[in-house]
Amino acid sequence: MTFVDREWLLTEQPASRRQARFGQAYRTWTSFRSNRLAMVGLGILVMLVLVAIFADVIAPYDPLRGGDLRTARLLPPSWTHLMGTDDQARDIFSRLVHGSRLTLMVVALVAVIATPIGLLVGTTAGYFGGWVDIVLMRITDIFLAFPRLILALAFVAALGPGIENAIIAIAITSWPPYARLARAETLTLREQDFINAARLQGASAPRIIWGYVVPLCMSSVIIRVTLDMAGIILTAAGLGFLGLGAQPPQPEWGAMIAGGRRFLIDYWWVATMPGLAIFVVSLGFNFLGDGLRDVLDPKGER
């Protein structure tokens, strides 16, 4: 590993585009690493991913099939059941471990669906300007006029409950801020020389947008999506809690809280543990996002 040493990364005269990019990434990483909260956030998320990948190995019990209903129901936390058992005699810890997959799936799918929509709408509006811009931004504003959870609720009510529909609803309600951001970036890029050069060479508008504008908007939009992740998790959990997201017996954390609600006073752990999981994960995303903002936007809050 002699050629990826610090000197190579931090050189003032990078010999190739790749070296310059790696060097930039390394500098970002070093300043990121000095942010303690952000590192904690990153640690939490790495754990989440690992837990999701190795769920079958980590979870000591089956997440869906419970134990003996006569003896293993609503047991308090102990060494055999780290977080106790729920009313179906299922091990809560095992359910949480498997639920991490659902959480990751929601976050990933929402990001995969909402980011391209936001990018497409924003860059198109910004690039063409005029009427296209007015119409597209009006539509964006209308979506922004509803609180996110409420609009998602209405969509899920229309589409029917279920985790797929919840993901679609959250994605539909998440793209407008990304469109706004992409549009603002596009406006600064639109009249630059390299875009004009491409246009003079006869590149079509879609080609310029996808080939030249979108890649440059990508990084800021991705950061924004990362900042939103905690919100996405909370919205998904809220939908699950209201019985509109993942359906039982799926071990979705929000739905698990709803399930434990009836036993709250006597068996506190049933509702408390899944909430703790949601809290820790979204705290991780928030710490990470906060750190990212500090590192990448030096004129921001700090």
Tokens of 15: 């010999």
Using the Cα atoms of residue 288, residue 294, residue 297 and residue 301 in order, give the sign of their dihedral. positive
**Any contact of residue 275 with other proteins (CB under 8 A)?**
yes
Amino acid found at 142: I
Nearer to other proteins, 178 or 287 (CB): 287
The nearest distance, CB 248 to other proteins, in angstroms, is: 14
Return d(Cα 242, Cα 247) in angstroms, integer: 10
Q: Which stretch binds other proteins (CB under 8 A): 9-17, 84-92, 174-182, 253-261?
A: 253-261
Nearer to other proteins, 122 or 274 (CB): 274
Q: How far apart, in Å, are the Cα atoms of 105 and each of 84, 100, 179, 199, 246?
A: 26, 8, 23, 40, 12
Q: How big is the site for other proteins, counted in residues (CB under 8 A)?
A: 46
Question: Where would I find the H helices in the chain?
Answer: 6-10, 17-33, 36-53, 55-58, 92-128, 130-144, 148-159, 163-189, 193-200, 205-208, 214-241, 253-260, 269-296
As a whole number of Å, the end-to-end CA separation of the chain is: 36
The nearest distance, CB 220 to other proteins, in angstroms, is: 19
**Any contact of residue 263 with other proteins (CB under 8 A)?**
no
**Any contact of residue 269 with other proteins (CB under 8 A)?**
no
**Any contact of residue 234 with other proteins (CB under 8 A)?**
yes
The nearest distance, CB 77 to other proteins, in angstroms, is: 15
Site for other proteins in 37-76 (CB under 8 A): 37
Q: Which of 74, 117, 283, 296 binds other proteins (CB under 8 A)?
A: 283
Return d(Cα 230, Cα 286) in angstroms, integer: 6
- Whether 106 and 236 have beta carbons less than 8 Å apart is answered as yes
Longest dimension (CA), the chain: 78
Q: Which of 2, 5, 7, 160 binds other proteins (CB under 8 A)?
A: 160
The nearest distance, CB 183 to other proteins, in angstroms, is: 17
The nearest distance, CB 264 to other proteins, in angstroms, is: 6
For residue 211, what is the DSSP state?
I
The nearest distance, CB 13 to other proteins, in angstroms, is: 35
**Any contact of residue 20 with other proteins (CB under 8 A)?**
no
Nearer to other proteins, 26 or 146 (CB): 146
Q: How far apart, in Å, are the Cα atoms of 17 and each of 14, 20, 23, 218?
A: 7, 5, 10, 18
Site string for other proteins, 111-150 (x = CB under 8 A): ---------------------------xx-xxx-xxxxxx
Nearer to other proteins, 74 or 216 (CB): 74
Q: How far apart, in Å, are the Cα atoms of 156 and each of 11, 164, 172, 239?
A: 53, 10, 11, 9
Nearer to other proteins, 27 or 261 (CB): 261
Residue ranges that bind other proteins, judged by CB under 8 A: 37, 138-139, 141-143, 145-151, 153-155, 157-160, 230, 234, 237-238, 241-244, 254, 257, 261, 264-265, 268, 271-272, 275, 278-279, 282-283, 285-287, 290, 301
